[in-house]
Every structure is written in C-alpha cells, then in structure tokens.
Structure 1
C-alpha cells in the first residue's frame, strides 16, 4: 500500500480503516489488541516518512505490528492472523520482506538497530534503521546496553518510544510541556546545532562551561535527561495520535542524521472505547463481541497456572520464608494472586529475567525459599544466571516453568519446547513434572523440601483429568501407573502422561504405563527392572527430542548396556509454527489417534 502520496486527511482516514479492520478480525480470531490499536498513527507516520523497502523497520516484541502488516500487502490475508498456516501474530521475514526481523521476545530492537546501522555504514548505503519500542520493553537491561553503544558511536537510528503505560520521567507541569514542544520543533533543532557549531565551540573555555551548564539545566526539567546523558538526542513527549505532529517530528529526527529518541504518548486500545486505557486483559485477547466487548468464553477446567497459584498461596501461608518473583507476567503466571496476598514477599521485576534469577539466588542464600515463575520461552533469557548464580552454588531456588510445551497461536517464539534440553545438563539441577492437578499440588509441596535447585514444568491451559490416585513425590522416583501384558512400555513425562494414556486406550494391546516424574535424576533401578519385562519403549513428552526425555533415557540405556527399542514422540528438530494447539499437534503427528498407528 503506497501512502507516500496521500495527504494528511487521507492518512487520517486510513488510520480509521486500519483500526476498523483490526477490531473486526481480532474480535473473531483473537490476538494482541490494545497495544496494536494504540500504535496505528505511529506506524502510518513511519511508513510516510521512511521507506519500508529500504530502511529497516524494527518492531520490539512486535505485539504492535498489525498496522504494519496491513500497510505491507497483507490486508486481505489479515483474516488469517495467528491461524495455522496463516499470518503470524509477530513480524516474520519469511512472511514479507517488509518484516526486517523475527520478534516475539522483548527488548531486542535497539540492539538490532545498532547492528543494522553498523552494517549500513560499512556498506556505504543511505538507509536509516527505525525502531518502535514500548515503554515496558525499556525495563530490560539489554536496551541500555544497546543505547550505551549507540550513544558512543553516534550512527543514525530513529527510535520511537511508544509510551502507553508508564512515564519514563513524569513531565513537571506546564513548563515541561512547553519545553517539550520547543524541543520537538524544527527551529530548536536547527538553532541548537548552529549554536553548538558556530558559537559554543568558539567561546573561551569559561564561557563554554557556563553555556553548557545552562543547556544541561534546561534538560533537567524535560523527560529526556536519561537519554541525553547517554549521548542520544531526545524529542518529546509528543502526542502519539496526532498524525501531523508525528510526521513532522519524524521528518526532523530523520534529518538529524544521528541517534534520536522520539517519545510519543499513546493510549492503549485507542479507537475502541471499551479497551482504552490500562486494562491488562485487553492486551492479548480471545474472540469477543465487538459491539459490547464481552468475551466469547469457552467452558474449561481450571488451568495449570491457577492450580499452581493456589498451591503456592497455601505454601506461602504455611511458611514465612516462601518468596517469589515474575518478570512482567504477574497475571499470566498467577503470581498476581501472591502479590496481593503477600505484597512484601512476591514481586514483579518487569522484563528482567536475568535480574529475577540472580536476585532470588541471593534470597536463597539468605535462607528464603524463592519461587521463580516464568514461561518456558522467557526463562531462556536467564540461562547464564541459572548456571552461574544458582546451580554453581546449588542454591535451593525453584523454577516454576509455565507454558511448557505447545502454546498455540503465539507460535515459534513462544513455544515451550526447550526447557528440559537446556536445564538437564546443569549440575545440581533437579527436573520433575506433575501429570495432573493433584500431582501439581504435590509437586509444589515437595519442591519446598529440596535443598538444591529444581524446575517444575506444567502446560498452558488445563491438565487432562486422569483416574490414577496421586501419591507424594520421592526424590528421583518414577511411578508405574499400570502393568501391561505386551512387551511395550509407554513412558510419560508431565502432561505427556495423559497422551500416553489416551494412546494406550486406542491401542488393541494391553500396554504398561510409567509416569517418569523425574527426568533428572532418573529412576534407574525401576528402569532396569522394567527393561527385563518390556522391550519396546515409547516416550511421551511435550518437549524437544534433542536433549529431551528420550535422550536422557537413551544415555542411561547406553551406560548400562541395556538393549531396548526406544521411540520418542517428542518434537523434531525445527521451530514449531503458530495455530490452535490441537491443529499444531495434528500437523506434528502427535495426536493419540495418529500416534497409535506409529506403534508396532
């Protein structure tokens, strides 16, 4: 869609059309909603001022990329957003050349822009990386690592700070507002450059010092001091819904030919009054009635997240030394309930997984029992801290890993496939998993007793109910749920137990079922006993095959020189695309009705 030739009125009409399209499709499909509605004018202005075919457009996290998709040849295809084999809910270069980079985790955009700017300079090209980053992403340390270098090398990068929730620094009354308008103006930017080049640099040393101090004093009452001190020019705050003001400001920033942050204030959910403002439940939504905003609720069992939250509340009530943390996902992980019940013992540290892990390591050293509650995909961000600050000293930190396995429509960047593989090789780490609601409660109770690091994984949504009586966890002990008359053994881990049970019910043979419970350490004695009776083993686990549960058992069998035929039904060596969980599982051949045909 070519918007270069459109006038302001036509562009404002386009913004309305984009909002209407987003509201219509997301109300039917679900998706990221309030953040993307709030970024419409900013995105249209980006496309008006910059060249998407030439300049790298980099969206941080890319929750707000829907308008960008609509402006880059995907208007009709937008019907398929987040559907299996349809458009991704995030930027994806395989989908369009207008998408510069894959994004799904936060706070990577400015680092990408710095790298792109270096490459552009080396290639002697005239292109400018342009970033859109939300205020929430500014809480992560990686952003400041990138800003630190960018302020030093001074390469042209335009960063649009989409501030829709928290103020980076609150304006101080009308003076600050007035000064911000001046700072955003063409006259000030031109005047400042001329004064610096033609006057201040030629003044005597003492006069230069005084002039600089006056300039610095003015900055102190503007919101951009932190960026200016890092060597990056700051413009704003501006109205992120005033299209004329945004376009004019971006033109100024582009012409400056150096790193600059444009601070834009926006309203989440803009254009859909029911969602406007700080309503967390409108960030990512399921289908809803667009006329009244009522969500189309599906009747479902209690989620594993809710079961975990209740179990941890009970534990924290019982033991005063239980503490916990999450990284910007309090409601998603259930920690919001703990923060409300025990506000001095549970924290949201924002998008700072590395800090979350290391801070809890210190609390463990001080005698507390920390529970770090993070999605599997986001725990990857704190991997060095898990190794260096927790496992090295064998501190009794509990990692409660939510969203383990396939997570559905969020897709490649969010699937919880790798946690077993990246944690299993760490010394001192204990890995175990519940199979259902009852055993999750028991797992939380048992985790409190461990004097070393441990990780508990559980799925998105509800567990499949099972009829087996729950028994307490014992260190490194598996549980044989069912004997079998055939030579086959189904080994389930975590939510994989229910898949093993469903597959067994569809099979004509009477097959034994083992709940492995612990993948580290393995119950080697029980596995040795079972190898004497069952010769064909099948692994059921919602995890990556390489380094996963099957790998752990194969290593054991090799060490013990036990000859077993082993088949793993874990994920193959590729990233798993987005779509409804059952549809994705069907595409991977992991539904019980498909697995039963793979068992000889």
Structure 2
C-alpha cells in the first residue's frame, strides 16, 4: 500500500493544493478505467475536511453507496494502487474493508449509511467510547429518496446518539436556500457562539417555567422557517446549512463545531457535480458513471458494439405501448440505465421514475395492476433484491399481471459484488404465482416481450448488461408458456441446456468440441417444459446447464428437482452456473476466465466430464 496522506498537519493552502491533486488523479484514472466521476469530484473538499477533523482509523467513516469515496481511498494509503481502480484484483470502486481498515463497511446499494451510523453509535455507547469515537456519515442527496433513511433518522432523533451526517447535496433536491438571509442564518447557527448561546438560553428559560420555554421555542422555530433544515430539526437532529461544500476552511470549522456538540448533527453541504472538470460540471446524468473517455473533449473511447439488450428492451416496449394504452412502467432512479428514458419522454403520464425506492415502485405498480393496467417494473437484477417482500406480498399473493424486467442480469463487471445480477432466478423461483423466462437474442427478446404484455400473472424476464452472445442458431419460435425450443437435435448422448444468454455460451462451447451435442433453449425455468425434458431424457443421458445465474437454487437446481420428482435416475447433470461465492469486480471476460466459464474452458470441462 502507498503511504497515507497526512492531512492533519497540512496548512489551508496545502489542503487546497491537495484537493486539486486528488481531482487530477481521479480524472486521469477514471478517464482510463471508467468509473463514477461527477459525484466523487464534487465531494473532494468534504472528504478532505472529514480527514482533517476526524480519524478514519477509529471513527467509523460510512459512505452511502460509496461511489463518491475515491478521495477517501487516495488519502488512506491507496494513491499508487488507485491506477488499478475497478480492475480485476485491483482497487474496488466502492468501500471494502478487506481492502483497507479505513473502509468501515461494504457499500454499493444506497441509503444504508445512516442505519449503519446508528448501529455504530449504539456499539460505541455500549463500549463506553463516546469520548473518543463518533460515526461520520457522508450521504448524497439522491440517497435521501429512500425510506430506509427516514427510518434511521427517526430513531436517531429519538435516541440522540452523537453522530455527524454530511449531506452532499449536488442537485439541490432537498431544498433550495432562500436568499442571503438563509446563508447568514446557516453560518450563524454553525458557530460555537450560537451553540453556547443556545445551551445557555435553554438553561436560563428552564428556570422561568413553561411560558418562557414556549416563547423561546416559538422564536427559534420562526428562524428555522426561513432555513431548509426544519425537517431534520423536527426529527430531533441539529441542522447546519446549507453551506458551501467547496469552501474547505468553512467545512473544517463547521465539522469541528458539530463534533463538539456530542449529539446528532446534519451538515447540509452543497456541491457542484464534476467540480474541477468543466465538461462534466453540472447536473448531466451521463457523467455520473462513465466508461473510458478522452479528457480533452470528454468523448467516449468505448468502441461501437452490437445493439445492447437494454436498447432492444426499449424498442420493444415502445412498440408495445403504441398498440396497448394499458401498458405503464416504473424505474427506481435508473431511467437512462434501464432504457426507460425514451418511454418517459413519449409517455410522461404512463412511465415514472420514483427515485431510489424499489419497494415503493413494486407496490405502487401492484395497485395499477389491480386497476387494470399492465405494469413493467424495469429494475436492475441487483436492485430488485431490495423489494423482495413487495414482490411476494403485493404482487404475487395478489397474482397481479406485473412484468419484472430485470436488466443487468448476470455478471456486470467492474461494479463487483454488490451489483452482480446473479441471484434473481434463485430468489424469484421460490415464489408461488411467479413465472420466469429469458430471451437468448434480439428476435426472442421481442417475442418474450409480446408474451409478457399479454400474460395475466406475475412474471420476470432477465437480460444481460451489454449485448447477447451472438450465435448462428435457428430463428426463435413464438414464446408460449412453459415451452422450450430444441435448437440442435441429434443422436448424441450429450445435451446442452441454455437459459437466456447461456444459450449463446452453450453454442460457442459446442463449437469447441469434436463431439456432437444436442442444444435446448430452455426459455422458461418456471414452469419448465416437462414434456420436452422427459422426451430428451430418453435419448440424452449427460446434461450440461449454461446460465448466467447462481448455481444454488438456479436453473440446474430446477432441472434436478424435476428429475427427482419424475424419478428419472439415469441422467447426470452438471451446471455451469456461478458457484456459491460473491463475484469480484473486473472486466467481465477476465472474471469469466477466472471462473473457468469461457467457451474454450467450458469445452475442456465437458471433455473431462464425459471421459
């Protein structure tokens, strides 16, 4: 590891220079490797101030989502290693305790930080360490849209544990400061003089009974009404702000004051997305997360590729909407990533972004389904995990015709463990009334969407990040419930069973073999095409399963359960799904190679199995 940056001994001028160096480093590495950019550039001064005032070796530094924690990584012994950001065996794009003891917790999904802070504060109190440790939370304004934040704030305000919450507001989504008076009052409320005055006044009015306390309270509330922090104050959390999130000296002073209060304090800091890189400055969504780009002009260096599965989904859904005005849809803060932006533009009254609120997304669509509409819940596979109760309780128990369109199913690459979309088949297959299916290519995707639009029960279709694996296979047949498609039929003892993107992988693997193999596009993993499988079991005795899903509870498990139920005992089944372990970050092909899942590696595994 590189040497830690000693922030505490640096002068204000040296700290300003350090912020500039950090931005240059982040920009150079992200332009080469890809990663999160605009938010993390904007948070630079906040993070430097955090390290100046607090100690990440003992104070829990908790970053929400943690995509804005790059400056923290650079300050805590990872300056040289930062060149490997998001690369296989390199620095993770999120906080990761196994990477550094300065990273308090794994984070990749949003809105968990304040809950973690409350838990850490409880532990600190139980250990009697309140005088030497305090949780410090950095949360972005986008994360404030999830209900979990307010559950945590509710308890924190009641229990009054010492804790610092820094709200990085780079979109002014919480509230806009009301003129010069607001800024003056915010600065005044952050000063040690005001805090001493407040404490002394509280003590003084206590001696004069309820009348004096009432008048003092009304006066303070009158001041708060022209500041944006009334919500937090009403919840029992001291509010300071809004403050300039790029004024390093002011940030340090305010954090020192907040630390001395020994109570829960929220510091509302306003920052500029992309600060320091003019092309990215502002609110453009495209600079939130980026691939490699040319620093000079901001142009992407990513080579043109095949049409992505997300693009196919968008085209298909637009076509369906033109012929069915009952189709509606929702996404949770990912309109661009899920391809729903064109739908929201064309049909603003039928498609919604509900912010980071997957639970609300599913339940609200359940009511629309109850009212006769056809909702498409368009959510990344990894994020549907957050709405599992709602899928069961609100969609499936009611047997409502909701389509769960799961983007980025399978390995997603550089985002790593928290984002790999490998569990959806395992956790959805167990739910009654749920139907699961997957397309293998562009034609079958359109057919799967047409089936989904007419299906009258809950269903889920999954598709990969990027493009499908190309294959020169027979054209896809029309999707029918629980009907597989036999793509290659012969007298071979070997049967390859592909599901979704696994069909292309199975085909590529077959090309690496000298032996003939039969190939089945399973299409539906729930319900299975049992008649087809019974027929194939009479001829092919060695089955190999190809799917971008977890092995535990996955496609292979479904097939083994079927064989056991039917008491078919002479079939051997080997699954090439993902083993029972979290999958690290890195280039998708490199990860697949490390898991022995490239076609040439799979062919070797097949050969070894049939010997």
TM-score for the superposition, normalised by structure 1: 0.99
Output aligned runs, 1:178-257, within 5 Å.
178-196=184-202, 198-257=203-262
CA distance in 2, matches of 1:489, 1:358: 41
After superposition, give the CA deviation of every residue in 1:249-283 in whole Å (9 maximum; x if it has no partner).
Answer: 00001001000000000001001111110011111
CA distance in 1, matches of 2:548, 2:155: 40
CA distance in 1, matches of 2:289, 2:456: 38
After superposition, give the CA deviation of every residue in 1:319-377 in whole Å (9 maximum; x if it has no partner).
Answer: 01100000000000011110001000000000000000000000000000000000000
Contact 2:491 2:539 in 1 (8 A): no
Q: Which residue number corresponds to residue 286 of structure 1?
A: 291
Q: Secondary structure at the match of 1:421?
A: helix
What is the Cα deviation at residue 210 of structure 1?
A: 1.7
Q: 1:565 and 2:572 equivalent?
A: yes
What is the Cα deviation at residue 484 of structure 1?
A: 2.5
Q: 1:85 and 2:92 equivalent?
A: no
Which of these residues, 380, 383, 398, is aligned with residue 385 of structure 2? 380
Which of these residues, 548, 553, 569, is aligned with residue 554 of structure 2? 548
After superposition, give the CA deviation of every residue in 1:70-120 in whole Å (9 maximum; x if it has no partner).
Answer: 000000000000000000000000000000000000000000000000000
Q: 1:428 and 2:402 equivalent?
A: no
Q: Which residue number corresponds to residue 50 of structure 1?
A: 54
Q: Which residue number corresponds to residue 592 of structure 1?
A: 599
Unaligned regions of 5+ residues in structure 1, if any?
A: none
What is the Cα deviation at residue 464 of structure 1?
A: 2.2
Q: 1:399 and 2:404 equivalent?
A: yes
Which of these residues, 155, 173, 180, is aligned with residue 179 of structure 2? 173
Q: 1:323 and 2:328 equivalent?
A: yes
**Please, what is the CA RMSD of the aligned residues?**
0.8
Which of these residues, 352, 359, 365, is aligned with residue 357 of structure 2? 352
Q: Which residue number corresponds to residue 32 of structure 1?
A: 36
Unaligned regions of 5+ residues in structure 2, if any?
A: none
Q: Which residue number corresponds to residue 301 of structure 1?
A: 306
Contact 2:471 2:508 in 1 (8 A): no
Which of these residues, 86, 94, 101, is aligned with residue 98 of structure 2? 94
After superposition, give the CA deviation of every residue in 1:21-77 in whole Å (9 maximum; x if it has no partner).
Answer: 111111111111111100110000000000111000000000101100000000000
Q: Secondary structure at the match of 1:298?
A: coil
Q: 1:15 and 2:22 equivalent?
A: no
Which of these residues, 570, 580, 589, is aligned with residue 582 of structure 1? 589
Q: Which residue number corresponds to residue 411 of structure 1?
A: 416
Q: Secondary structure at the match of 1:508?
A: coil
Which of these residues, 443, 447, 452, is aligned with residue 442 of structure 1? 447
Contact 2:244 2:269 in 1 (8 A): yes
CA distance in 1, matches of 2:481, 2:205: 71
Q: 1:146 and 2:152 equivalent?
A: yes
What is the Cα deviation at residue 171 of structure 1?
A: 1.9
Contact 2:326 2:374 in 1 (8 A): yes
CA distance in 1, matches of 2:123, 2:212: 40
Q: Which residue number corresponds to residue 368 of structure 1?
A: 373
After superposition, give the CA deviation of every residue in 1:448-489 in whole Å (9 maximum; x if it has no partner).
Answer: 111100000000001123332121100111110111332000
What is the number of residues matched between the two proteins?
A: 599
CA distance in 2, matches of 1:203, 1:283: 54
Q: Which residue number corresponds to residue 74 of structure 1?
A: 78
Contact 2:134 2:163 in 1 (8 A): yes
What is the Cα deviation at residue 199 of structure 1?
A: 1.6
Q: Secondary structure at the match of 1:438?
A: helix
Q: Secondary structure at the match of 2:299?
A: coil
What is the Cα deviation at residue 166 of structure 1?
A: 2.9
What is the Cα deviation at residue 214 of structure 1?
A: 1.4
Q: Which residue number corresponds to residue 119 of structure 1?
A: 123
After superposition, give the CA deviation of every residue in 1:267-302 in whole Å (9 maximum; x if it has no partner).
Answer: 010011111100111111111111222211311011
TM-score for the superposition, normalised by structure 2: 0.97
What is the Cα deviation at residue 194 of structure 1?
A: 1.5
CA distance in 2, matches of 1:357, 1:190: 48
Q: Secondary structure at the match of 2:26?
A: helix
After superposition, give the CA deviation of every residue in 1:133-166 in whole Å (9 maximum; x if it has no partner).
Answer: 0000000000000000000110011000000013
Output aligned runs, 1:498-577, within 5 Å.
498-563=504-569, 564-577=571-584
What is the Cα deviation at residue 212 of structure 1?
A: 0.9
